[in-house]
A and B are shown apart, each in its own frame.
Chain A
Amino acid sequence: MGSLQCNRRTAAFALAGLVLYPVAISLPMIRVDQFGHHNDASILEGTATLLSGGHILVGVVVLLCSIVLPLGKLLSLLTLSAGGWLMRREHRALTYHFVEFTGRWGMLDVLLVAILVAVLKLGDMVEVSAGPAALAFTACVVLSLLASASFDPHSLWSDSDLVTADETSDDT
């Protein structure tokens, strides 16, 4: 029962993260003022610029770390916490390993913005400030952290065990 409640919490956090996700990647993340030109950059635009600019490696890393992996993690947590009826057990185990792996990479962007803001405060020449998406992205990252922290891996096998236990008890 306790793991079920945990999973409900996980599902709630993951759902909240998913709600914030589109805003986080599509609205301006950082705002760069350079010699009076100002430029807003969202994660999507930035990734597209990197890829079309020929920076394939960096572009792919950014694409993975800030777009694909967070989304994959949130979706996985949501499906895992939704219960056993969505996936077979082997797949769930695999998915859980994926969540564990992606957890370490999800925070890169906020870190990146923090470093950029710190490094590029060059006075009046260049000014970098966080845009509205920074808030959404931070919330998104925190929510996915909470979701994975509150996820109880026991539920991966416990509720299927419960089912088999019920079946065996019915049999006897």
Chain B
Amino acid sequence: MTSQDDNNSADLPSAVMRPEGRSSLIWIVPLLAALLVGWIGYRAWHLRGTVITIHLDEGYDLRVGDDVRYRGIAVGTIRSIVLSRDLDGIEIQAALQPNASGLARAGSRFWVVRPQLDVTGVAGLETIVGPRYLAVVPGDGPPSDRFVGLNEPPFVESIEPGDLEITLATSRRGSLRAGAPMLYRQVQVGTILSVGLSSDSASVEARVRIHKPYVRLIRPETKFWNAGGFDATIGIRGMSIQAESIESLLAGGVGLATPPFAGEVVRNGHRFMLADNADEEWLSWAPAIPIGSSLLPVGATVPTPMRAVIGWKEGRWIKSDRSRQGWVLQTKLGLLGPADLFVPGEGEGTGEDAVLLEVAGKSIALKGDHQTYVGGLAVLSEQVSTNVWPSSKRRNATMPEDCLVFADPASKPLPLAASRLTEDGGKWRIDSALGLDEVWHGAPVVARADGMLVGLLLVEDDTAHVALLSTEKVAGSKE
């Protein structure tokens, strides 16, 4: 038996035994699979985000997979929608993205955005074709994961610190409704938050929020009247219809007027009576009350610069009209503005022709009698406006700070963050990324911290800087 085997082994290749240990490398495959599972599982768990539960009375066709949105972008997804156990509403489970988990805090308000056609306007237009979504406004409480949603979108999306809340009392509701505007000279200065019977049912009470810039309009003597609806008078001369505005005609609203010398600014919770109609006298009141800005502290006023145009003729023989524009501010000393608004051209060829500065409907002949200060600012001792910026409201600044720039009184101020400003020898250079154009030339710059005037914005050759107020006069300028 063994001898035969030996014979065969001569002409047959002999099997080589491989060591067995090598094949254990194959067990890396299950290990890799386990790692893959771990990775996929971690990603799924991580992307799950913060899961919150919201109780709503109505679903409004919200569906699983719809977005939770904040500031117009999706920050989460609806995971499940079920009827609540006692059938009195629905329970929505939503998963917020990890970076949006800060929205899940006590006081956060959720509501379903859906198309709403209302007398005051149209809302949620994008949801007519697109899906509904859940909107959120974050609160400021501790983290939480259970919420009760709102049935209606909130009228005031954000409650700003500095807003004033007052109560209006009246004998009957009239056209008062939540969300209706408060109108001062038909400009909205606040919103009605809620309307209901007072606790003793003797009157109707409305809670009203006055927006921060207009808080100074509300004085103890301020009169309020129901501005909804219209008055129709039919007489021999025909019919006359009076309404506050189309918006308040449809939506209701409250007009208000403040007499001159009406006392101090009221505190939160002040109670006013609401009249049914406005007296003729109330409508004639026109006190000068400086209003603020929502970006400035309460009590700070907003500068109202005036547009000024300097015009001159240039050229030796053929004279061409040249002009330059900018903003000037009326101060006690005179008109404060960029120095180049008071000096024509490059100083050549002005000759005997009059240089005119047109401001506030007046034309002033410039004779070079302005006062130039270090930094490119100048004061022309002219009084053209009664709206004088008080000298107590200006200060010298050195280090860059957060500022607001006011130009056109009807448009919004331009915020300048301190990080955009660099100190450069008595002026603050502005980051060129802001792209300020010449429209802003001469606009007053007010510190956000205290509402003080710190300088003017100067734009020259596409570069902008803040020229700081200074008391140092340039030598050689005439007194």
Contact = CB atoms under 8 A, between A and B. Distances in A.
Contacts of A35: 129-131
B23 A27 contact: no
A128 to B, nearest CB: 14
B32 A16 contact: yes
A38 B130 CA distance: 12
B98 interface: no
Nearest to B22: A5
A1 interface: yes
B20 interface: yes
B23 to A, nearest CB: 5
Given A23-B41, A39-B65, A132-B43, A143 B23 contact: no
Interface string A8-45: 11001101110110110001000000011111100000
B44 A27 contact: yes
A19 B338 CA distance: 76
A19 B17 CA distance: 33
Given A23-B41, A37-B66, A136-B36, A16 B30 contact: yes
A89 B459 CA distance: 94
A135 interface: yes
A9 B40 contact: no
A46 B37 CA distance: 21
A143 B41 CA distance: 19
A39 B64 contact: yes
A50 interface: no
A40 B66 CA distance: 12
A17 to B, nearest CB: 7
B462 to A, nearest CB: 41
A51 interface: no
A139 B64 contact: no
A168 B18 CA distance: 27
B207 interface: no
A49 B26 CA distance: 39
A15 B32 CA distance: 11
B33 interface: yes
A19 B43 contact: no
B131 A16 contact: no
Contacts of A40: 65
Contact of B44 (A8, A132, A143): A132
Given A1-B17, A19-B34, A135 B40 contact: yes
B33 A19 contact: yes
B261 interface: no
A39 B27 CA distance: 37
A27 B43 CA distance: 11
Given A5-B23, A17-B33, A36 B40 contact: no
Interface of A: 1, 5, 8-9, 12-13, 15-17, 19-20, 22-23, 27, 35-40, 132-133, 135-136, 139, 143
Given A1-B20, A136-B36, 20 more contacts: A8-B23, A8-B24, A9-B26, A12-B29, A15-B30, A16-B30, A16-B33, A16-B34, A19-B30, A19-B37, A22-B37, A23-B40, A27-B40, A27-B44, A35-B130, A35-B131, A37-B63, A133-B40, A135-B40, A143-B33
12 contacts: A15-B29, A19-B37, A20-B33, A20-B36, A38-B65, A132-B40, A132-B43, A135-B36, A135-B40, A136-B36, A136-B37, A139-B33
